[in-house]
Amino acid sequence: MTGLHMTKLAEGEEILFGPARKATTTNLTVKSEDKDGEATHTSLRTICITNQRVIIEVGDSAINYPNNDVRTILINLRKDKKKRPVSFNILQIRTGRGNTVKIEIPGVDFEKLVLLKQVFPNATVSESRGMGGLLDRIFGG
């Protein structure tokens, strides 16, 4: 069981980071001749990184980005009270074609940073810092 809804993994492909899931709920107003009402719509987004690609599933659609196409990975380091890194969040990736994609995989053990760099041979891993990093974390820019 991979935790993915639609995507089948290729032979030899394995999930290295994730899956991370995020549910977004939207309020809807329903107009009716008899009685107006409200309803909600929930959309589930599942993301994982395998040894071959980044997989993003939203509803009944899936987008894949080959690992060798990723050029930049933005992370956020989490430190303990002694300022030693203990974990990191994978915030977003940028592809060779300039696509920026929010990833949002939280709580990855710091020891896996070496694996992250190995999985994306053409990518630079950078930390979200300063005012620009703060705005990236808040607005996903």
- For 39-96, the pLDDT digits (tens) are 888 888 999 999 999 999 998 899 999 999 999 999 999 999 998 999 999 999 999 9
- Residue 122 lies inside a defined structural domain of this protein: yes
Share of the chain above pLDDT 90, in %: 65
- Residue 9 lies inside a defined structural domain of this protein: no
Q: For 124-133, what is the mean pLDDT? A: 74
- pLDDT score of 120 more than 60: yes
- Residue 10 lies inside a defined structural domain of this protein: no
Q: Which residue range(s) make up the domain with 43? A: 15-139
- Residue 107 lies inside a defined structural domain of this protein: yes
For 84-115, letters b (16+ CB in 10 Å) and e give eeebbbbbbbbbeeeeebbbbbeebeeebbee
Q: What is the pLDDT of residue 101?
A: 94
Q: What is the pLDDT of residue 63?
A: 94
The whole-angstrom separation of Cα 108 and Cα 90 is: 8
